Amino acid sequence: MAIEVKLTANLRRLTGGQPSVMVEGATVGEVLDRLDEMFPGFKATLLENGQLHRFVNIYLNDEDVRFLQQLDTPVRDGDVVSILPALAGGACGP
């Protein structure tokens, strides 16, 4: 089953600049496993102690997996997984 994984610009550096990648898997966790096989070290940027890092958001068809079954959330052929690491920055005024 083919799942499209959409990546933000800061994750594209891990995939050779690809804005999205097609992978297979039965759950969000398996999709991440496949991405890590294809692009070693990919999962390490998203997980902490085997759990989704609190500053990383993963959406399955626009639904946050934290409100579903997290990494155990099932995926189906044609689903879209979007990975959005939180960005921070800026400067305080003088």
Query: Which residue ranges of the chain lie beneath pLDDT 70?
Result: 1, 87-94
Token reading at 70: 């997290």
* Residue with token string 């089953």: 1
- Residue pair 56/84 in contact (Cβ under 8 Å)? The answer is yes
pLDDT at 19: 95
pLDDT at residue number 35: 95
Predicted pLDDT at 66: 92
Return the pLDDT at 88. 59
Tell me, what's the pLDDT at 10? 87
Q: What was the pLDDT predicted at 85?
A: 82
Q: How far is CA 43 from CA 29, 86, 89, 91, 94, in A?
A: 10, 16, 23, 30, 39
For residue 27 the two structure tokens come to 């759950």
Domains of the chain: 2-85 (3.10.20.30)
